[in-house]
Structure 1
Amino acid sequence: MFSRTAIALVAALLSACGSIQHNTTEARQHIKEDLKLAEITDTSFTSFCWMRIGGPAGCHATPGISVLTPDSLLLVDHQWGKYVKKDVIKTENVRCIHEGNGEIFYVFTDQVAVQVMPLTDVPGSPMVNNARYREEAIKMLLSNGQPYVTREVAPMIVASGVKFYTTMPSGTAGMNVGQIVSPCPGAHLSRTSLN
């Protein structure tokens, strides 16, 4: 249920970015020039956001594209006719990747978890999980032997003990706030207070 809702929401957000060209020869040349890249392996429409390890489990997705190179994944926006780099995830900075839900995956570094959701963009078809690109990106990001962790092996969200209160028609409701922890082997999984 959550993954379908997430895809629908992200697809709606990305439809606004539907004019971002990324997979034509001309677009790739502009991407190389704007981002000063020597080589592009692949590109995809992608929703992404960042969560601080030890912070709340939640973030606001940014619709854009991602650019795969032989040693990094670039998260990119398109502003004022230019491709603008929002983040670069280098293979050497990746501690592990958490499975997510089979569509979204989470890249863990020492300080942050980056939520990445690649989507297809076939004209006339709905945007859906770009499984081929996802697999390609994960393989490159884990090329130094880092682990791919599933939720059965290690959680990435734990209860924080903090509640968020909101007013609803039926009264005030408290919702538990999850906290991001690193599921990577050797990472310290203790709960810290959310600030």
Structure 2
Amino acid sequence: MNEARHIVGVAALLAMLATGAAQAQSDAVDMGQTVPDAKAVAEGLFPEDACEQLKAAGFKCMGFKPAVRYSLPATAFRLGSAELPDTLKKQLEVFAEVLKTRRGTGKTVRIEGHADASGTAEANVVLSQRRAEAVKDYLVSLGADPSMLAPVGVGANALKNQRDPFAPENRRVEIGRATPPS
């Protein structure tokens, strides 16, 4: 009887964690086809900079907003491709501009490649990693510090459109601050 309760409790905990992961996915700011403003990207990726500026000016900082994760753009990649479309390149140029100003800071930005569910799980992880690497390579070619960039392929494990696993918006890249190891 206790073992059955334990199993049910573990299952409930896993369900809550899965719900939290799904909610975390929806927290990404969807850039769609728009080219972001460099100031907004800088404030989103590095919100603590505002606090550092206040402290440098002699003021007390009472905290800052959490860093933002950006989803670039909803239909960025063609099926099975890691080639960067022109719209995505234009968006990445703004991110590179911001990242160039943070060279040598020791801050890390995670580039998460995603795939839809049209391939096998293994193929989707490889494809999503290629997408993340392509973004890193492009950012580096524009002057971003390669040591700041952490490309990760997650395959089809974090679908943006869970109702349609094959939807184009699932083929994307998300860029956000890497969480420090605990």
One fold, TM greater than 0.5? Answer: no
Q: Which has the higher contact order (CA 8 A, sep 6+)?
A: 2
- When normalised by structure 2's length, the TM-score is 0.31
- When normalised by structure 1's length, the TM-score is 0.29
User: Which structure carries more strand by proportion?
Assistant: 1
User: Which structure carries more helix by proportion?
Assistant: 2
